[in-house]
């Protein structure tokens, strides 16, 4: 029952996000925004669809139950959801599932973007790990962490190149870490 409830909420959330992304895309392109990296985008969409199919299949076929650590994994997943909302709200109309850049736009420096360059991608990685672990879907967790790593190794450089080309991204974010806040780097010896 918990599996069906969580999966239903997450799938509805993703569909709602796609609606927001389409609306934001229309607004940005009307303002003169340019799309980049559209060659890898269909593969990213396919990866996310395959994640849900794999998770559902693994749980049902292998009759996976709740992990003994499910409360911890669920808490981490819910914290990631709060982070996702924070990141999306911080970007406002600039948030999108595609790489769309408005030339000369001000680089967002609020919300989680004050601390790291790519909070949403970090959050997605946490989700791709914790959601399967709640239900002991280890194959899905391992496979999609690897696929996401490969996808991000293409997407993040494409996104950063587009932002550097059309905004003050390099000046504003050049010294900021992609995933580790500067305050934590002090302890990284």
87 contacts: CB under 8 Å, gap ≥ 6: 95, 111, 112, 113, 119, 120, 123
pLDDT at 171 (0 to 100): 86
Q: How many domains does the chain have?
A: 1
Q: Which one has a higher pLDDT value, 155 or 171?
A: 155
**Domain assignment of residue 87, given as a range:** 2-185
**Predicted TM-score of the model (pTM):** 0.91
Q: What are phi and psi of 116, to 5 degrees?
A: -140, 160
Q: Is the pLDDT of residue 48 over 50?
A: yes
Interatomic CA distance for residues 34 and 120, integer angstroms: 21
**Residue 189 — very low, low, confident or very high, per pLDDT cuts 50/70/90?**
very low
Interatomic CA distance for residues 53 and 63, integer angstroms: 15
Q: What is the pLDDT of residues 4-27, one digit of tens each?
A: 999 999 999 999 999 999 999 999
Q: Which two tokens stand for residue 132?
A: 């399967």
CATH (domain of 87): 1.20.120.1630
Q: What is the pLDDT of residues 122-140, one digit of tens each?
A: 999 999 999 999 999 999 9
Least confident of 68-82, 96-110, 168-182: 168-182
């Amino acid at each position: 029952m918990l599996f069906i409830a969580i999966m239903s909420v997450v799938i509805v959330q993703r569909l709602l996000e796609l609606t927001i992304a389409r609306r934001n895309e229309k607004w940005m392109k009307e303002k003169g925004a340019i799309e980049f990296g559209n060659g890898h985008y269909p593969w990213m969409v396919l990866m996310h669809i395959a994640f849900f199919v794999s998770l559902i299949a693994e749980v049902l076929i292998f009759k996976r139950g709740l992990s003994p650590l499910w409360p911890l994994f669920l808490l981490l997943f819910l914290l990631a959801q709060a982070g996702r909302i924070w990141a999306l709200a911080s970007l406002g109309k600039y948030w999108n599932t595609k790489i769309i850049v408005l030339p000369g736009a001000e680089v967002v420096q609020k919300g989680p973007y004050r601390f790291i360059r790519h909070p949403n991608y970090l959050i997605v990685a946490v989700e791709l790990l914790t959601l399967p672990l709640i239900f002991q879907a280890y194959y899905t967790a391992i496979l999609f962490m690897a696929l996401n790593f490969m996808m991000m190794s293409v997407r993040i450089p494409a996104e950063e190149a587009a932002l550097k080309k059309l905004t003050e991204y390099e000046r504003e974010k050049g010294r900021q870490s992609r995933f580790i806040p500067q305050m934590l780097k002090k302890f990284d010896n």
